[in-house]
Chain A
Amino acid sequence: MPTLPEVGTPILQAPTAEGSRDQHMVLNMGPQHPSTHGVLRLVLEIDGEIVVRMYPEIGYLHTGIEKTCEAKFYQQVVPLTDRVDYLGPMNNNLVYSLAVEKLLELEIPAKAQWLRVLLSELTRINSHLIWLGTHAMDIGALTVFLYTFREREDLLRIFEAVSGQRMMTSYIRIGGLSMEPPLGWLERVQNFISTFPEKIDEYSNLLTGNPIFVNRLKGIGHLSGPDALALGVTGPVMRASGIDFDVRRDMPYSSYEKFQFTVPVSNDCDVWARYVCRLEEMRQSVKICQQVLDGMPEGPIKANAPKILLPDREEMKTQMEALIHHFKIVTEGFPVPAGEVYQSIESGHGQVGYYIVSDGGPKPYRCHMRYPSFADLQALETMCKGRLLADVVAVIGSIDIVLGEIDR
């Protein structure tokens, strides 16, 4: 690895006009830049090619999603949560549903919980595939991008088969799942799971031994463990800084305590460590999916709460009560007991937390979303300071930014 000069010492003595020799240059990266993965503007103060300071300017997306949530019924918020982190819709549905179920103190049947785990892990693989493809593309390796999108297509077909949607699934609902998975769906998942580990080896063969890739990643974007915790960084970025914490294992939700998996942790604290951790996480997700498929319990996929959950279509056509409940839920929503809850889960990017306050009415009084990319962005300056401009691209890729998470 070439060692870098101290900050402030220019690498190249570029011919400059008299008097401006020791001035820093301000460079705008974005709002639309291929490597920022959305509308993110980075105001960079650079000295030659060295980043001296960085100021992320956000808010270009500004969806107003929290305000919108407060104007909708509880069940109408589920499709909105898909749009926040559009690469991990099932995880978002899950965390919102878990939070509302905690407010309602609803009991969820085992089969629904296991299916939720399965979908949540498939979503994690989906999210990591996009990360791997775009991250490798940022570095300049285009082939992996094409390969990951090939596998992502299989996953999207699986999601489409179960929910009718490829990306904005809204499949996990308050109190269970929207419908029973179709016949043969579990076999399709099994097919995917059986072949996917070879695909991970394929990516690994292309990248892990590739000297260009290794040199662009190793020793870049250093973030120490204490720094990561102080800045609120979570998920794979935190675990690549040596902090051994995973919400799935340590604060289990939705029956995660029943599954065996290891949490990959690295002490290297750099972009390479994040790459290694995420690659291993995909393998662990496959392991969890396999356990779900092997031991899937029988039973209903919805909680027994007719005043909260929409009835099945067949019931609605034959039973008056079901029709009345359907009508009441759609037109008036359902009241949720007053109180406040905070529910966090481990999504592909890190710890997602929903803080929901209920005043006893059918609409959330306050619905705050804590998304990992927002906190990770604060750590960007720490990771990029004193490094080369080209490393900024590698570091942004390594924290796996989704701009929908950053803007409120």
Chain B
Amino acid sequence: MADAKTTLIGKAAVLESMAEHPAVTALLGWNADALTDARFDRGELTLTIAKDQIRGACETLIAAGYNAFQDVTAVDWFPSTPRFRVVYHACSHRYKHVIRLTVLVDESDPTVDSITPVWPGANYYEREVFDLFGIRFEGHPNLRRIMMPDEWVGHPLRKDYPVEGYR
């Protein structure tokens, strides 16, 4: 396995030297096509998952020993396309490391499958992303604003939302 000093960019490079990493093994064993991109940088593994496969990927990883859910958040790469990256962190108590899953979401259709049915802990985090970025999570049991009032216009953590607000 690659050590923390090396940087590996791209699916092929990561698969070549990190094939025995438990997360990579589990995802490849489940569905090799779901893994679209990968990166290993500063000792952290980032796996990009196809948008419609995220729930299955999470199920696979839970079964592979990534038992502690950490968080869901998003990054707004305005004005590039696809605009949003939804980022998931999962910790493994057995392997003692954290891995990162990302999903690319475009502004024209800002939806992604909710992982709350798989990981109940994602509930508030997905609501937070919905509230502050305006990304919808399909299948979420209670997708409502969590920080801002219900009638609030706009999503404050988007890059085109001014720091001082519109008012």
Report A's interface with B, CB cutoff 8 A: 58-59, 62, 64, 66-68, 70-71, 102-103, 105, 229-234, 243, 245, 250-251, 339-342, 344, 351, 353, 355, 357, 365-366, 368, 370, 374-375, 377-378, 407-408
The residues of A that contact B76 with a CB separation of less than 8 Å are 366
Chain A residues with Cβ under 8 A from B156's Cβ?
Answer: 64, 67
Chain A residue numbers with a CB within 8 Å of B122 are 232
Q: A59-B149, A342-B70, A407-B147 are in contact. List 10 more A-B contacts (CB 8 A).
A: A58-B147, A62-B147, A70-B163, A71-B163, A229-B69, A251-B96, A340-B46, A344-B91, A351-B91, A408-B132
Nearest CB in chain B to that of A371: its residue:
B71
A341 to B89, alpha carbons, bound, how many Å? 11
**A342 in contact with B44 (CB, 8 Å):** yes
**Chain A contact residues: helix, strand, loop or mixed:** mixed
B71 with A368: CB separation less than 8 A: yes
B62-106 residues with Cβ-Cβ distance < 8 A to A are: 67-71, 73, 75-76, 87, 89, 91, 93, 96-98, 100
| Residue of B whose beta carbon sits closest to that of A365 | B75
Q: Report B's interface with A, CB cutoff 8 A.
A: 41-42, 44, 46, 67-71, 73, 75-76, 87, 89, 91, 93, 96-98, 100, 119-125, 128, 132, 145-149, 156-157, 161, 163
Interface of B is mostly: mixed
Across the A-B interface, give the 7 residue pairs with the lowest CB-CB distance, nearest first: A232-B121, A59-B147, A370-B71, A368-B73, A231-B121, A232-B69, A71-B163
Could you tell me the distance in whole angstroms from the C-beta of B104 to the nearest C-beta in chain A?
A: 14
Distance, CA A355 to CA B149, complexed state (A): 26
In the complex, how many angstroms separate the beta carbon of A237 from the nearest chain B beta carbon?
Answer: 13
Q: Which residues of chain B are near A355, meaning CB under 8 Å? A: 71, 73, 87, 89
Q: Find out whether the CB atom of B70 lies under 8 angstroms from the CB atom of A59.
A: no
Docked-complex contact B42 and A245, CB < 8 angstroms: no
B97: chain A residues at CB < 8 Å are 251
Residues of A within 8 Å of B132, CB to CB, are: 66, 408
- B residues within 8 A CB of A103? 42
A229, B147: Cβ atoms under 8 Å?
no
Chain B residue with Cβ nearest A71:
B163
**B70→A370 contact, CB < 8 A:** yes
